[in-house]
Amino acid sequence: MDNDADLVRATSTAVSCREGVSPSTARTRRSLWHRFRVSSTAVAQRCADRVVAVMRRVCVVPTFHVLVFQGFLGTIPWRGFPFLAMYYRNLGFPPEAVAQLNSLPRFGGIALAVFGGYLGDWAAK
């Protein structure tokens, strides 16, 4: 296909064959869709420009920098937890003890989540 007109003609023919409408009706539908797509692209561009403008305003706030930095630092311990089992094994603990040591924080988290739920319900009253 050499140009856009051939593409529109081929698309309208395919649409007319599929939907049982005349090629001219399909061409009209195709051109309307093209106009809508162009306008929706312009709207999306304006929305993206607004988002970028807001992000520029937010990113210069020093408090935002502190929040992001503490988020980076806060992820460091969580990256080490998967290696605790290997660490316990290297210390000489038997596999049963390693399993118990690894399950304790998980069960503690479950218990504290339930306790936190009750505490939140109590505080809401």
The span from the first CA to the last CA of the chain, in angstroms, equals: 71
Domain identity same for 66 and 10 = no
CA distance 106 to 101: 10
Domain identity same for 46 and 18 = yes
Residue 30 has pLDDT above 90, yes or no: no
Mean pLDDT of 37-49: 75
Of all helices (H) and strands (E), which one includes residue 61?
none
pLDDT at 16: 43
Domain range spanning residue 32?
1-60
Phi, psi of 61 (to 5 degrees): -80, 125
Domain identity same for 45 and 13 = yes
Task: Give 39's pLDDT tier (boundaries 50, 70, 90).
Answer: low
Residue 55 has pLDDT above 80, yes or no: yes
* The total number of structural domains that make up the chain: 2
